[in-house]
Structure 1
């Protein structure tokens, strides 16, 4: 377990470096915004396309894997929603907290970290988790909050949602890579070198941007934030692990990657959604800060327990 901790520590040190740069105002918020845009639209997209283009499309989709992740994640979502409603939270705020409890930072942290730690075998499962989170759960929270505010779900809501999904660079790059692989197109050497060079910037850039973004987050409402962090870092990997290994019999390697991905801290895009809708903003912000700090210790434990050296 100590070995896993030491292997994950450099990733969190990069996050800490970004946090220090942001906290001291050496790296101002506008610089963080532009770095995030570069990583999101260019570096991470190049990495995802290159990963997807080398996958075996026929073996990528695993129904048992999808059902296991959906089942475990949905169980945590329902639990967090129920807890929030028992605290007399409005439906929209309860749904946002439920989304916080099971949406990990798979894009900016999970893809670069887990692939680096676990090797090529992690690529397919990590991309599947990322796709499910974006296509299913991000769509779900948007529909729920919109319906809660309007009192109904209008068909006009679906068009902007579809546009948002279709315009997401991570989804576009993954789908383009899968299409490339499915067509069995050769990867020219210069193109592969370009994608590798640009994609190499994703890991340090994304981790630094995560830390710099955390520098501006407060830690108000620590009670709910600690609960949401516990749900994300402990209950989520536990739930998907039970679903994967005991209910749907997912292969050991794929299940281990799924469990590790579920143990990632709360994603930054949850805060963007909360801010956009004006729902549970402080609680989500504090949960991101708390879960990212705690993941320094919890993530290596989960990875080790999942059976990875």
Structure 2
């Protein structure tokens, strides 16, 4: 496990550096927001576009993989909602807690981290996880919140969900890359160089932005944050291991990437949804902080356990 720790430690050290810069006031909220936009719209998109331009749709669309991931995540989702119900939380709060338990930082942390640790072949499987999170579970959250507040789903809600997906630069860059790959043309050398150079900024930029964004968070409601972090870091990868390896017979490497994605801490966009809807933002913020801090140990342990599945 120690060699794996030495591999993961530099990534979390960059997160720690961003956190320290944020806490010291050297990297404020506006700077963090600007860096986040750069990584989200440009660097990560360049990485995804370059990779997907060499693939076909069949290379990134595996129905057994998606079924295993969605089933495992749904199981954790329902457990988290059940625990929230036992604490007498309403439907909207229960759904937001379930989002914390089941949706990891696959975009900002998973894409650069797992591409470096598991190889660029992990990006395609990582994108399937990200697509499932965005299309299935983020949409499910919006629908559950609409039901909790209005008692029904308005057509405007479904339109907003579709528009949000179309505008997501990660989805757009994946689709553009696959469209280019379908032509059979090689990526021109200057374009390849541009995408490689810009995409190289994704890993340090995303990790630093994660750390800087954590600087303004506080660990309020630590008991709930601890439970949600446990669900995300332990229950979610365990559920994926069961569905991928026992129920759907997903190939070993693909299963390893799925389980590693599931072991990632709570996604930052869950907080954006919580703040937007005014549903337990402090609870979500604390869950992001606690799970990210704990993930150095848990991600390292999970990747060490996955070693037999890796080529």
Please say whether Structure 1 and Structure 2 have the same fold, judged by a TM-score greater than 0.5: yes
Which residue of 2 is the match for residue 81 of structure 1?
81
| Cα distance, 1:183 vs structure 2 | 2.4
Matched residues in 2 for 1:228 and 1:175: separation?
A: 33
| Cα distance, 1:123 vs structure 2 | 1.9
Matched residues in 2 for 1:256 and 1:187: separation?
A: 29
Which residue of 2 is the match for residue 101 of structure 1?
101
| Cα distance, 1:58 vs structure 2 | 2.2
Q: CA RMSD in A?
A: 1.0
Q: For 1:46-195, what aligned pairs fall within 5 Å after superposition?
A: 46-195=46-195
| Cα distance, 1:59 vs structure 2 | 2.8
Matched residues in 2 for 1:130 and 1:189: separation?
A: 29
Which residue of 2 is the match for residue 254 of structure 1?
254
Which residue of 1 is the match for residue 218 of structure 2?
218
Matched residues in 2 for 1:111 and 1:201: separation?
A: 12
| Cα distance, 1:52 vs structure 2 | 1.2
Matched residues in 2 for 1:94 and 1:14: separation?
A: 33
Matched residues in 2 for 1:60 and 1:24: separation?
A: 42
Equivalent pairs, count: 309
Q: Unpaired segments of 5 or more residues in structure 1?
A: none
Question: Equivalent residue of 1:186, what SS?
Answer: coil
Question: Equivalent residue of 2:249, what SS?
Answer: coil
Contact 1:244 1:250 survives alignment (8 Å): yes
Q: Return the TM-score normalized by structure 1.
A: 0.98
Contact 2:48 2:123 survives alignment (8 Å): no
Contact 1:106 1:130 survives alignment (8 Å): yes
Which residue of 1 is the match for residue 295 of structure 2?
295
| Cα distance, 1:48 vs structure 2 | 1.0
Which shows bigger deviation, 172-181 or 90-99?
A: 172-181
Contact 1:121 1:253 survives alignment (8 Å): no
Matched residues in 2 for 1:59 and 1:29: separation?
A: 39
| Cα distance, 1:156 vs structure 2 | 1.8
Question: Equivalent residue of 2:121, what SS?
Answer: helix
| Cα distance, 1:121 vs structure 2 | 2.5
Q: Unpaired segments of 5 or more residues in structure 2?
A: none
Contact 1:135 1:165 survives alignment (8 Å): yes
Which shows bigger deviation, 245-254 or 174-183?
A: 174-183
Runs of 4+ in 1 over 6 A off after TM superposition: none
Which residue of 2 is the match for residue 25 of structure 1?
25
Q: Return the TM-score normalized by structure 2.
A: 0.97
Question: Equivalent residue of 1:296, what SS?
Answer: helix
